[in-house]
Amino acid sequence: MTGIAIVQCAVYLAVLIGLSVPLGRFMARVLEGERTWLHALLGPIERLMYRAAGVDSGAEMRWSSYAGALLVFNVAGLLVVYALQRAQEALLLNPDGLAAVAPDLALNTAISFTSNTNWQAYSGETTLSYAVQMLGLTVQNFVSAATGIAVLVALIRGLTRRQSPGVGNFWADLTRSTLYILLPLSLVLAMVLVALGVVQTFDGAATVTTLEGGTQTIALGPAASQVAIKQLGTNGGGFFGVNSAHPFENPTPISNFIECLAILLIPAGLCHTFGKMVKDVRQGWALLAAMTAVFVGLLAVCVWAELAGNPVLTALGVDATPGNLEGKELRFGAVSSALWATATTAASNGSVNAMHDSFTPLGGLVPMWLMQLGEVIFGGVGSGLYGMLVFAVIAVFIAGLMVGRTPEYLGKKIEAFEMKMAALVVLLPPIVVLLGTAIAVRADAGLAAIANPGAHGFSEVLYAYSSAGNNNGSAFGGLGVNTPFYNLTLGLAMLLARYGVIVPVLALAGSLAMKKQIPPGAGTLPTHTPLFIALLIGTVVLVGALTFVPALALGPVAEHLQLIRP
């Protein structure tokens, strides 16, 4: 890595960690129901929403009721987004006269945005009207992110409460997360992006005359408002087909830095929220340190691989000084593209400012493996941290086995039921990814969409199911996924990966909430020390490595070996 690359990445991390501390403390106050400076303005709106919905925000829910409310709300959102797409032709705010979306694509998109995956098998500017983008997709960007925060808060309550049957109120957690956290941050970011040149208009596509005297149609729309929440909510769905590589979504290096920062800002801040809510800030710092250590290591690999360039061209004597620029915006270059790719797949974001399909094999391996680790290296808003907490439960269980003691985490004994739920959370996404990939590379309908045969074509399929099975949404773009086969199988993968994980996490929260709080003793494993951080990192990496190394060997590793030994 060059000195400039090191400085660029170091500045990014320093700003990220610096901003995460005050944001995390603020979010803790909101999620604990404390009054903040925003309550004078938004408090009446919150109370009005509860009255209109007939919700008692102070009523406690058992984990099963909490999960039931969550599932009902999300299913309702999925049906609304599907209906909006199918009725698009008859809706207002459709200045370009776009037709209704096909049933299989509409279902895939509805599942995608409801599950916080934001996988897109279409180009937004040529497929969806402004009404669908705003009323359907942008709304889900808010509430799907708030759903992740709500599940995290329920799990934290499970760790802090003593013999309590309740884990909170889903409707209150959802409302507060949206109203006091996501909405104000998105409003500020959208205004900044508009000032930097991101488009925000209801006008239809513009027809302009080019320098050669021809004509060109340029798509417009209310993009800035969607870009803000797509980054802050770790959603990732682009208003335009090429996402944040489009100059109307990401016009300058400054907007690029700010948007990339927004991807990890709330996930990093939630680590401090966790520390404050469990009354031990060291616990939050320990989790953040584990996430950051893995992130920095993989970021270094990705930046190195992209700066090194294509080994075939290098062997031919072609100067690789600028790095691998295929599929990248020259406005951003290799380093910023690699940083974004690492951040967007460390989080369950999925937005891109370069085409991951054009990365070198080892450079593309990094974002793929980050997803396969379970989206816990920062991860999605809420979902990343509750995934990491499950790994922490597994880590203390392993430590307990090694010393012959009943494992404990934050004063709660980890017993058979907790380990069963943790095993479901950790094992379900890999099963979805590997089974989906195996079916796709054996089925004729799956093979027909692969334009690149061999190792790279396999990598494209593996990446697609890794993205869907971990609710990321980015892609290796060479795979033709807008087919009934991929729309339905990837949609099923998104549903299983999102809700098949959420329900066991809430069951874990309910079980922990019912347990007594055990005071620490001489044999208690401290969970804020460098030793535990190393144990946690090892648990995350080994689970990811042992699960996916054979598949990665068939894809990006094999492709890299083919390049260096043709």
Tokens of 187: 């409003």
Element housing 413 (H / E): strand 412-413
pLDDT per residue as tens digits for the range 11-38: 999 999 999 999 999 999 999 999 999 9
Taking alpha carbons only, the member of 160, 139, 296, 167 closest to residue 226 is 139
In angstroms, the Cα distances linking 355 to 211, 326, 327, 358, 373 are: 28, 8, 5, 6, 21
What is 314-381 written as a DSSP string? HHTT---TT---TTB-TTTHHHHHHHHHHHHHHTT----SB-GGGS-HHHHHHHHHHHHTTSTTTTST
Tell me what pLDDT residue 28 has.
96
Residue-wise burial string across 119-153, b where 16 or more C-beta atoms lie within 10 A, e elsewhere:
bbbbebbebbbbbbbbbbbbbbbbbbbbbbbbbbb
Task: State the residue for tokens 């759903």.
Answer: 147
Residue-wise burial string across 365-398, b where 16 or more C-beta atoms lie within 10 A, e elsewhere:
bbbbbbbbbbbbbbbbbbbbbbbbbbbbbbbbbe
Tell me what pLDDT residue 529 has.
93
Taking alpha carbons only, the member of 450, 482, 467, 478 closest to residue 122 is 482
Residue 349 makes CB contacts below 8 A (sequence gap 6+) with 230, 231, 234, 235, 236, 263, 343, 380, 472, 473, 474
Cross-strand pairs, 217? 207
Q: What is the dihedral of CA 10, 356, 541, 265, to 10 degrees?
A: 50
Radius of gyration of the chain (CA): 23
Tell me what pLDDT residue 212 has.
84
Give the amino acid at 232.
Answer: L
* Rounded Cα gap, residues 367 and 552, in angstroms: 12
* Rounded Cα gap, residues 544 and 342, in angstroms: 16
Residue by residue, pLDDT tens for the chain (566 residues) are 578 888 999 999 999 999 999 999 999 999 999 999 999 999 999 999 999 999 998 899 999 999 999 999 999 999 999 999 999 998 888 888 889 999 999 999 999 999 999 999 888 788 888 899 999 999 999 999 999 999 999 999 999 999 899 999 999 999 999 999 999 999 999 999 999 999 998 888 888 888 888 888 888 889 999 999 999 999 888 888 888 999 999 999 999 999 999 999 999 999 999 999 999 999 999 999 999 999 999 999 999 999 988 777 776 666 566 788 888 888 898 999 999 999 999 998 989 999 999 999 999 999 999 999 988 999 999 999 999 999 999 999 998 888 777 788 999 999 999 999 999 999 999 999 999 999 999 999 999 999 888 899 999 999 999 999 999 989 898 889 999 999 999 999 999 999 999 999 999 999 999 999 888 777 778 889 999 999 999 999 988 788 999 999 999 999 988 887 75
Taking alpha carbons only, the member of 226, 233, 224, 223 closest to residue 193 is 224
Task: State the residue for tokens 């409003």.
Answer: 187
CB atoms within 10 A of CB 403: 9
Tell me what pLDDT residue 551 has.
93
Element housing 208 (H / E): strand 206-209
Please, is 239 exposed, middle or buried when counting C-beta atoms within 10 Å of its C-beta (0-12, 13-18, 19+)? buried
Tell me what pLDDT residue 320 has.
61
Tokens of 404: 């012959």
Tell me what pLDDT residue 319 has.
57
Q: Quick check: 408 and 399 in contact, CB under 8 A?
A: no
